Every structure is written in C-alpha cells, then in structure tokens.
Structure 1
Amino acid sequence: MSILLLGGTSDIAGEIATLTCHGEDVVLAARRPEAAQGLAEDLRQRGATSVHVLSFDAQVLDTHRELVKKTQELAGEISLAVVAFGILGDQERAETDETHAVEIATVDYTAQVSMLTVLADELRSQTAPAAIVAFSSIAGWRARRANYVYGSTKAGLDAFCQGLADSLHGTHVRLIIARPGFVIGSMTTGMKPAPMSVYPRDVAAAVVSAYTSKKRSTTLWIPGRLRVLAWIMRMVPRPVWRKMPR
C-alpha cells in the first residue's frame, strides 16, 4: 500500500506525510520536483519504506490518470491520497486580468475536480480500503469581497466533494473533506492571521486522526469551534460583509 501526496511542496501535505510515512511507500507529486527533495529525504529518515518524487502539473488535466496509475505501478495500491495542490492567487490582479482569474479557477477547482474524479474511480477498482483527502476552506463558506475569486473555487469544490462523498458511500473508498480556517504557512506569508487561525501541523493532525479512525467519509472544521464562526458569518448583513477583510 502507498501514500500519494499531490502537491508535494504543500506545507500541510508535508506534515501529513511525516505523520503517516513510517513503514509506507510514499509518492510525492509536485510541479517543482526539486523542491520536494528535502521532504523526500526527511521521510526516508522517518522510516518510509521508499519515497518517489514525480513531476506533476495540475493544470495539465490529461496527465492526472496517468500519474495515479504510475503511482500504483511504482508503489502498489494507494491507501491514502492527499489532494493538496492549489494557489491563493492575487485578488486585485484577478479583477482585471481574466487569465489570472481563470488560472486560479483551474488550479483550485477544475483540476481538483479532475483529480478527485480520477482518484475515486481508480481507488474503487482496488481491492483494499482507501481514503482521499480534499481541502475546502472557510473562504468558501461565504465569499468575501477581499478574496472572492479564491473563495468561489472553494465553495464549488466543497459542494462537489459533498456529492462525491455521497457517491462513495457503501464502497471501500472514503473522502475526508477538511475545512480549515486561515492557515499560517508559506501560502499566507506576510498576511495578517484571521481569528481562529491554525498551522499546517494542526490541519494535518486533524486529517490524520480522521484517517486512522477508519470511519466513513467525513467533513472536518479545523479547529472545531470554527463551525460557530461559520454560522455567524452567514448572519452578517451584506453591507457589512462586503467590507470584511480576507
């Protein structure tokens, strides 16, 4: 059995890998494979049976199934697949540059839908139980003026994942949907943390706990009390909401 990390340079994916790699074959798929070499070596030292680093560009959709099949050939059936690639993008630029807006939408929604569909299909054909991890966000709960392009992709992805989880019910494949708040990491460097911010290790710990529990598909608010904030967000009047920061 193997672990596949799609977005091998992601802070959260790296933390998940360190918590699950011991005794496992790991495949890191990254747009910049050279940037994942440090993590690969760390995982070997932590007891991974083997670590393979593959080149992967999420925007090239017709390579998604090929990459999953290559993982199965290199490391065997997949027990855990983590879809952790994504970009935050530049909201201000996206409002006038349609190419950038589409880039955000492609990486954070279209490519995710493609890869999740491939994974669900391929893992259903395996013989052993498997889990897929997808990342939604509080940003998709109610789109804000300050980051509505990114937020809209997370809203769409969350809806897709809820349906996908239902479609997997009764199979040996389950979907873990993580809805973290603001994550303090490399993607948000220089940005002011929001209330109930978390670190990549916090998100990873929650995901791995759900994975090792071997329960059915689930949706995780990270931290759990973020659920209350989400309810409040829906109640804020629109004239006030449009002035809310990222």
Structure 2
Amino acid sequence: MKDAFGAPQSLLILGGTSEIGLATARRLITRRTRTVFLAGRPCEQLEAAAESLRTIGALVTTVPFDALDPASHEVALGKVFTEGDVDMVLLAFGVLGDQARDEQDPLAAVHVTQVNYTGAVSAALVSAAALQAQGHGSLVVLSSVAAERPRRANFIYGSSKAGLDAFCQGLSDAMHGSGVHVMTVRPGFVHTRMTEGRPATPLASTPDEVAAAIELGLRRRSTTIWVPGTLRLVMAAVRHLPRPVFRRLPV
C-alpha cells in the first residue's frame, strides 16, 4: 500500500530499461519504494538495470514482457500481481522511429504504432484491471507533448502518442471512483539514448526532471502533467494555430 504521503511501496515498470522509468524508480526508492518489478525483453541491459536498483536497497525482480505480443500480456503481468499488491504501474516503453525512413517503409511505420499504441493499450488495460481488482493503485503512462499536435517532422510517432494520450484520458474517466488513479505524462524533448544525436528543442528536460514531476503528480493525484510545466501554455497556443501558420513553422 502507498504510505501516508502517497509514495508507492511497490512499483512495476513496463519497459524496464527506460531511462525515465529507472530515474523514477531511483527517486521513489529513496522515499518508500522497496519492491520493484522491471518488465521487458530478457537481455543484459535489463539485468544490469535491476542490479543498479538493488545496490540502492530495492528488492528487484525482472519480468519477461514483450510490448509487441499483446496475447501474452495478461499472463505475464498477472504473474506480477499474484506476488502481492502493486501500488504503481509505470508504462514507460516506446520507440521514436525514423520519420524519413518510416514514411518510405509502411511496415516500419506500423512497428512504431504497434509498440507505442497497440502494445500500450493492451498493457494499460491489463494493468488497470489488476489494479481495480486489488482496489487501489496508480497507472502512470508516458505520453508526449507530440500528442498535442503531431508535426510534419514526426507525425508517425506523434500520431501514435496522440492515440495513446486520448486512450489514457478515457481510461482515467472509466477508472474514476474505482480506487485506481490514472496519470498521463506529457514530456517535451528528453535527453535520453532514444534522442541522442537529435537537436534538442527548447524546454528540453532530463529523465531525473521527468521523475521529479511524476513524483509530484502522484502526491497531487494529478490526471495529466507536463514536463516542464511551461509546455502546457506553449502547446495550448500551438494547438490553436491556424494550419497555414502551423505549416510554416520550422518543426
């Protein structure tokens, strides 16, 4: 169960090698989190991530999980919940893709949408149902500022996140009153391996800054958070720009 300050004592990260996910785990472990499940494809990187969290005091278990195999999600995640209550599920997996290449390769574009949307919808529904069955818990989903208005430069990725974002808003409403808290996280550009080599946009952040925002959002029981918060105002303006003006922007 969460403590009196809303800090989770148990955490399941879907996308166990995610830099944002691991930064969040480290931050929560310094508070009250003691049990962590890292779900992802079995690999050395997943085991190394688990060991890094063990060194700071957490009991960590790795869980085989494949976002591209929705048929396996109920069994794979169900095994975690049979171990005991899970206070927080963080859905942190996703791929950025390569817009120029993916436009020329429909199968590559489909791969982006299958990971970011189809796989995420499946994992979120399975997790939400398990949290609802236990009567409490938070489901935190990493969306993106790109979901607000997909840009020419990344509309395949942006559209997949837009679909996920809309899904999460509806799921939050569906879970209202059930004891399950659903929170959507909309970061801007985050300095991670996924964005390495790409020019940073204004208001860029780090995994640790996203983790701090997630912790604050948990305490406040927020349904949607922006990282940094200033992006809420920026994207409100961008969202309402006339299309002819938006098309002329260097984005």
Whether these two folds match at TM > 0.5 is: yes
Gaps of 5+ in 1: none
The separation in 2 between residues aligned to 1:180 and 1:111, in whole angstroms, is 20
Equivalent of 2:182 in 175, 187, 195: 175
> Per-residue deviation at 1:33?
3.2
> 1:3 aligns to what?
11
Q: Percent identity?
A: 44
Shift of the alpha carbon at 1:244?
Answer: 4.0
Q: Do the aligned residues in 1 keep the contact of 2:11 with 2:33 (CA within 8 Å)?
A: no
TM-superposed CA distance for 1:245, in Å, is 4.7
Letter in 2 for 1:138: V
Q: Report the equivalent of 2:150.
A: 143
The answer to whether residue 44 in structure 2 is matched with residue 34 in structure 1 is yes
Could you tell me how far apart the structure 2 residues matched to 1:177 and 1:245 are? 27
Work out which of the residue numbers 63, 67, 85 in structure 1 matches 2:93.
85
One-letter identity of the residue aligned with 1:11 = E
Give how far 1:240 is off: 4.1
Q: Does 1:122 align with 2:127?
A: no
Distance 1:57 1:147 in 2: 24
AA at the equivalent of 2:159: S
2:116 paired residue number: 108
Q: How many matched pairs?
A: 241
Do 1:146 and 1:245's aligned partners in 2 also have CA atoms closer than 8 Å? no
The separation in 2 between residues aligned to 1:90 and 1:84, in whole angstroms, is 19
Matched position secondary structure for 1:194: coil
Separation in structure 2 between the aligned mates of residue 173 and residue 125 of structure 1, nearest angstrom: 10
Q: Does 1:73 align with 2:82?
A: yes
Aligned to 2:113, the other structure's residue is in SS state: helix
**Counterpart Cα distance in 2 of 1:206 and 1:169:** 22
8 Å contact kept, 2:15–2:40: yes
- Could you give the per-residue CA deviations for residues 171-199 of structure 1, whole angstroms, max 9, x where no partner exists? 11101110111111111000111011111
Letter in 2 for 1:191: R
Aligned-residue offset at 1:232:
1.9
- 1 CA distance for matches of 2:185 and 2:33? 25
The whole-number CA distance in structure 2 between the counterparts of 1:202 and 1:134 is 16
Single out whichever of 23-32 and 62-71 deviates more from structure 2: 23-32
Q: Is the 8 A contact 1:13 1:84 kept in 2?
A: yes
Identify the match of residue 166 of structure 1 among 167, 173, 190.
173
Q: 2:71 aligns with which of 41, 54, 62?
A: 62
Q: What TM-score does the superposition give when structure 1 sets the normalisation length?
A: 0.93
Q: Distance in 2 between matches of 1:37 and 1:198?
A: 26
Which amino acid in the other structure matches residue 86 of structure 1?
A: G
- Please say if 1:224 is aligned against 2:234: no
Three-state SS of the structure 2 residue aligned to 1:102 is: helix
Structure 2 CA distance, aligned partners of 1:33 and 1:238? 44
CA distance in 1, matches of 2:200, 2:114: 26
Structure 2 match to 1:233: 238
Q: How large is the RMSD of aligned CA atoms in angstroms?
A: 1.6
